[in-house]
Chains A and B, each alone.
Chain A
Amino acid sequence: MTEEIISVRGLAKSYGKKEVVHPLNFSVKRGEILSVIGPSGAGKSTLLRMLDTIEPASEGEIILFGEKVTKHSAHSLRNRMGMLFQKTVLFERTVEENIALGLSYRFVSREETKKRVTEALESMGMSEYAQRSSRTLSGGEGQRVSFARVLVTKPEILFLDEPTANLDPVATKVLEEMILHENRVNKTTIIINTHDQAQGQRLADRVAVMMNGEFVQFGSADEVFYHPVNESVAKFVGIQNIFTGVVRNGNAVSGGVVFCPAPHFPDGIVQIMLRAEDISLSKTEVPEGRISVQGRVVSAERSGAFLNVMVDAGCIFLVICPFRQTGDTYVPGEIVQIAWRIAAVHFAKAV
């Protein structure tokens, strides 16, 4: 069950002279969840629409289930796939009729349709909604119904285009669970677009970072989140402390701060990255086995359950710590110790 279910070679899309998706090459294995993360306008939606064969590619080829996508094969290939959009699309009919729509397009028998729709509603705990008009649903319910409409067609590949972007946190969680359930139970292959990097991390086996129509990084979630290839990826995956520094005499240095030993890194200019939550902050003691520097508090502000502290220690660091853990408060001008583990520091070649 590890054959390549999606394989893409030189796939590109242009609108007029503007190339929105630059030639891409990648493949996805059966049962895998690939998350495509990236800022709005990076070409993620266009990519998914091309993969779902509802938008023709400008160049390159797509191979689905071992079969090349052509004008003639698209319809039968699409029978085995489904797609969910960011904007909830419900037709002005009952919930039941909405869910049945894809089956009616496939000329599935009335009894079978009834059976699948009833099952779908039951599994979502929405049986009593069957006869309700789709217009009476909340955002989360509507998106679940849209998802059920796709699931009843029993897709082998699912394309999810920012499915939770318009939902509140609770509804997002419910839908994420439905997505994971579909993957775990039915072994459905899933490609999900999201601009929420944490969602990508939660759901995906592999993550592709798409920026300006290109995959700038493709790897496991940990690789992307802890070892971003460049500054823009680092910023996108939420690394707040990024410094331009140098490697000299086996140490990575920026602003007079020695971040960590870098014995295997060639001398030269580098980007030094450190996640704000990987830095510890204290007024007195320095934990063992860590790099530590002394600094001065620039500002400290609450952000929900966390305290965001800016510390000037040669470079300006952002440190995030749980507010209630120590109960400490920090005032600007105060002298503090910040520390981090050597392994928390990540370098990328400066461009």
Chain B
Amino acid sequence: MGEITDGFLEAIMLIVTMNPEIMEIAGRSLYVSIIATFVAALIAIPIGALIYYYDFHGKRAVINIVQTLYALPTVIVGLLVYLLVSNSGPLGSLKLLYTTNAMIIAQVVLVSPLIVGLTIAALSGLDKEMKYTTMALNARAYRAMMTLVREAKYAVLSAVVLAFGRAIAEVGAVMMVGGNIRHFTRTLTTAITLNTSMGEFATSIALGIILLTIALIVNFGVNILQHHHGRMKDD
């Protein structure tokens, strides 16, 4: 019992005093996940819009696969990206293994299906007539998709925020391709894993509190967006 209480007190001290190493780790976590989410959104929102906009054979199957990939195990992503960026892999010459860039790639792969799937869902939530209207007004496909994504912006944005939440909480992939190197690729999750196994509970708890706070903020953000989205639909 004493260990946990002490751990908590020490953790709060570490946060209040803005312990440099803790702040550095939190900063890196935010950096990696924000960049990864941003890149994933740039790739995944257009893909989602394309899948929504065009009718093609096997569309249902594609959507099913995308949805299955929501639950893609992080270690599988880690393995895939590891193989990709390791010295003997196709991107080996770029020397990405054990860098934050490799971690970003892994998180992009991890959260892109989520954004693709939720973008399709967001657009499907619009009236079918809205798509017809853009077509009848003779929009080229890309203009129509832009109009429709803009119209579903709250739902799409909450998909992106959700993806960020999955990215920052993930540990397996960043551990494998980042290596958890101190001052270099150590993030909140990998640091908690390491510190806990070393018995450094105070540091773990401090990092955990920060991670949980970020998760709360993310959830709060999603709620606000969904509330806004819901209100729009009611009108």
Contact = CB atoms under 8 A, between A and B. Distances in A.
Interface of A: 49, 52, 54, 75, 78-79, 81-83, 85-87, 89, 91-92, 101-102, 104-106, 135, 146, 149-150, 153, 159
Contacts of B134: 105
Interface string B121-153: 000000101101111111110010001001100
A260 to B, nearest CB: 48
Contact of B136 (A78, A87, A91, A135): A78
B235 interface: yes
Task: Give chain B's interface secondary structure class.
Answer: helix
Contacts of B143: 104-105
B61 interface: no
B138 A91 contact: no
Contact of B137 (A49, A86, A149): A149
Contacts of A54: 132, 135-136
A82 B136 contact: yes
Contacts of B136: 52, 54, 78, 81-83, 85, 150, 159
Contacts of B147: 91, 101
B140 to A, nearest CB: 7
B132 A49 contact: yes
B232 interface: yes
A221 to B, nearest CB: 27
Nearest to A149: B137
Interface of B: 127, 129-130, 132-140, 143, 147, 150-151, 232, 235
Which of B127, B129, B130, B140 lies at the interface centre, i.e. has the most chain A CB atoms within 10 A of its CB? Answer: B129
Nearest to B133: A89
A78 B232 CA distance: 31
Nearest to B126: A89
A104 B134 CA distance: 11
Nearest to B131: A54
A283 to B, nearest CB: 54
A247 B81 CA distance: 86
Given A54-B132, A85-B129, A91 B151 contact: yes
Q: Binding site of A, secondary structure by majority: helix, strand, loop or mixed?
A: mixed
B138 A106 contact: yes
A106 B138 CA distance: 8
Contacts of B130: 89, 91
A44 to B, nearest CB: 14
A308 B224 CA distance: 56
A52 B137 CA distance: 10
Contact of B127 (A78, A89, A106, A149): A89
B158 to A, nearest CB: 16
A146 B133 CA distance: 9
B138 A102 contact: yes
A75 B232 contact: no
A83 B132 CA distance: 9
Nearest to B144: A105
A52 B129 CA distance: 14
A299 B147 CA distance: 57
28 contacts: A49-B132, A52-B136, A54-B135, A75-B138, A75-B140, A78-B136, A78-B138, A81-B136, A82-B137, A83-B133, A85-B129, A85-B132, A85-B133, A85-B136, A89-B130, A89-B132, A91-B130, A92-B150, A92-B232, A101-B137, A102-B138, A104-B143, A105-B134, A105-B137, A105-B143, A135-B235, A146-B133, A159-B136
Nearest to B143: A105
Which 3 residue pairs are nearest across A and B when measured between Cβ atoms?
A102-B137, A83-B136, A54-B135
B139 A89 contact: no
A86 to B, nearest CB: 8
A87 B129 contact: yes
A78 B134 CA distance: 12
A68 B34 CA distance: 51
Nearest to A52: B136
For B130, B134, B136, B147, which residue has the most chain A Cβ atoms within 10 angstroms? B136
